[in-house]
């Protein structure tokens, strides 16, 4: 049975697709660097320290995560993968979005005219409910329907 969550909209767009779930903070540089440097057509997660998503294709999917972690390059890395059109379609945060991820997502929307979605404050129950491969529906009002 579908379950609905409501979060705070950072970057809005309607979308339906597949979820990829990390229960760990996502290190943006470690996750995206290899694919970006290779100018790959898809991002295959290269962060060996994140067993939930390591080796998975996250391009065009809803990346469900608690938060991003890592260095101050995080925002630039997100903006770069968005400029390459290899980004996740959505970043769905259970916690409050961090400033680096927010800056990268907003720069991608403004500078790259990318439709990347970001919703935060979806709560711990969201990450407990959603599983990799689940169907996700996102609405512009911050509603996220799992299942």
Q: Rounded to two decimals, what is the model's pTM?
A: 0.96
Domains and CATH numbers, the chain: 3-146 (3.50.30.10)
- pLDDT of 36: 87
- pLDDT of 50: 97
- Tens of pLDDT, residue by residue over 67-121, are 999 888 899 999 999 999 999 999 999 999 999 999 999 999 999 999 999 999 9
- Tens of pLDDT, residue by residue over 34-61, are 898 898 999 999 999 999 999 999 999 9
pLDDT at 29 over 90: yes
DSSP string covering 82-145: HHTT-S-SEEEESSPPPHHHHHHHHHHHHHS----EEEE---HHHHHH--TT-EEEE-TTSEEE
């Amino acid at each position: 049975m579908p379950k609905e969550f409501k979060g705070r909209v950072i970057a809005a767009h309607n979308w339906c697709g597949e979820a990829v779930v990390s229960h760990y903070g996502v290190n943006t540089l470690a996750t995206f660097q290899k694919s970006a440097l290779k100018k790959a057509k898809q991002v295959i997660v290269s962060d060996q320290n994140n067993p939930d998503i390591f080796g998975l294709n996250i391009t065009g999917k809803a990346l469900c995560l608690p938060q991003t972690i890592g260095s101050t390059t995080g925002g630039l890395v997100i903006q770069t993968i968005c400029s390459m059109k290899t980004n996740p379609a959505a970043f769905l945060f259970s916690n409050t979005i961090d400033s680096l991820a927010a800056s990268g997502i907003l720069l991608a929307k403004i500078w790259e005219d990318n439709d990347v979605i970001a919703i935060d404050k979806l709560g711990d129950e969201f990450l407990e409910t959603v599983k990799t491969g689940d169907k996700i529906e996102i609405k512009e009002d911050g509603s996220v329907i799992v299942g």
